[in-house]
Amino acid sequence: MTSTRTSVFTGVLLASVATLGWALNFIAPYVTGDYSLYDLMAVRFLLVGVLGVCGMILRRAQLRLLSPGQCWLAAALGASGCLAYGVCIAAGVMFGGPVLTPACVGMVPVLLALVGNARNKTVPWLRLTAPLLCLTVGLLLSNISSLHQPALSAVSWLAGLFFSLSAVALWLGFSVVNQKHLTTLPAQATGLWTALMLVGAGGTAACLLPVLYAFDLLQLPTLGFGLPQAGALYAWSLIIAVMSTVAGAWAWNAATRRLPMVLSGQLIALESLFATLLGLWFHGRGPSVMEATGLAAVLVGVVLAVRIILTGATPVLTLNTDGRPNDDLHPRLTCTARNL
């Protein structure tokens, strides 16, 4: 039991590191300078791909642990959960402002809890009413506030909402599929799995470069590739690539092996908090009363969901087929009668 508690504590720390790194996704539109968001995304994910190739070389001995299908799946998860998600986050912030996208991503923790509870019921559905109500009110307040920002038009707000909800859908799909397959992999293959995800994201970005160039969306060919002109772009691309994509993917995969989805999903709420604070800092202002109330309500809803799920469930020791105790880092959770 002690080892399980230590594993959970380690998992929580790793998930916190991952969410802090992911929050850097939200500052992408603010650090491009004279270049476009497409330039930053292209450079960032090309760097991610290079780092992924380096990781594969270092972990090449583990390739025998994965089938070709698993390698392709990891690469596809990188393309969707890293590249597509990062693009949707950046576009959502660019069109919807610093509050709308983090508020929508705040839906993810409770939605993942619902998915986890549906797959392995641990809490009666009625007990989730309070956190869902807080979440709905919080999102409503935050979104109404963002709609009335003077710099936003209705069309821009709707575009921001579309990209924000797309990011939510991508992350939900990524989390469910990634967790399902990570729990079946050998523990020593986690690093290779992460490297394959990075290669998938970088390879997809490389394939999209001709399209971006054909539509004249890149400013690098016009403004210049040299360090005097693009040095800041390269620096921010590297920082976001390492912290948000590489460190974030590794820390989240390591945390996922240690935490059940009903717990790991809740910790994503920290991403919304970090992202909103960073976005408002780049905007040079604090949150309005309505924004602060809305984001607080989202976080309260998530905290309630965590409390309800954790107090409504207890770890149950299971046995392997040979009768030995199952030393699984994902303890099965069941409701106890006194908590119903």
The owner of tokens 């998915």 is: 115
pLDDT recorded at residue 197:
92
Dist. CA 265–CA 260, nearest whole Å: 8
Going residue by residue through the chain (340 aa), what tens digit of pLDDT does each one get? 456 566 667 777 888 888 888 888 778 878 888 898 889 999 999 999 999 999 999 988 888 888 899 999 999 999 998 889 888 988 888 888 777 787 777 677 767 767 766 776 666 777 767 877 887 787 777 666 655 555 567 788 888 889 989 998 998 888 888 878 887 888 788 889 989 999 999 999 999 999 988 888 899 999 989 888 899 999 999 999 888 877 887 888 788 777 766 566 666 767 777 777 787 788 787 788 887 887 788 778 767 766 665 565 444 433 344 444 444 434 333 333 333 2
Half-sphere CA count of 208, side-chain side, radius 13 A: 20
Neighbours of 185 (CB within 10 A): 18
Question: The pTM is what?
Answer: 0.72
> Do the Cβ atoms of 133 and 301 come closer than 8 Å?
yes
Nearest to 289 by CA among 278, 297, 301, 300: 297
Q: How far is CA 40 from CA 146, 151, 231, 235, in A?
A: 25, 23, 12, 10
How far is the C-alpha of 21 from the C-alpha of 17, rounded, in Å? 6
Interaxial angle between packed helices 85-105 and 129-147, expressed in degrees from 0 to 180 and rounded to the nearest 10: 110
CA distances from 137 to 15, 105, 106, 132 (A): 26, 14, 12, 9
Cα distance between residue 163 and residue 91, in whole Å: 6
Domain limits of the chain? 2-182+189-339
Give residue-wise pLDDT tens across range 1-28. Answer: 456 566 667 777 888 888 888 888 778 8
Q: Decide if 333 contacts 120 (C-beta within 8 A).
A: yes
CA distances from 303 to 223, 256, 299, 300 (A): 47, 19, 6, 5
Model pLDDT, residue 306: 60
Please name the residues in contact with 87: beta carbons below 8 A apart, sequence gap of 6 or more.
Answer: 41
Nearest to 107 by CA among 177, 157, 171, 156: 171
Contacts (Cβ under 8 Å, ≥6 apart) of 206: 46, 49
Q: Report the C-alpha gap between 327 and 4 in whole angstroms.
A: 8
Q: How high does pLDDT run on average in the chain?
A: 78
Q: CA-CA distance, 90 to 228, in Å (whole number)?
A: 25
Neighbours of 332 (CB within 10 A): 15
Tens of pLDDT, residues 23-80 = 887 788 788 888 988 899 999 999 999 999 999 999 888 888 888 999 999 999 999 9
Contact between 68 and 102 under an 8 Å Cβ cutoff? The reply is: no
pLDDT at site 122? 61
**Are residues 167 and 92 in contact, defined by beta-carbon separation less than 8 angstroms?**
yes
3-class DSSP string for 2-24: HHHHHHHHHHHHHHHHHHHHHHH
Q: What is the pLDDT of residue 282?
A: 80
At residue 266, the pLDDT reads 62
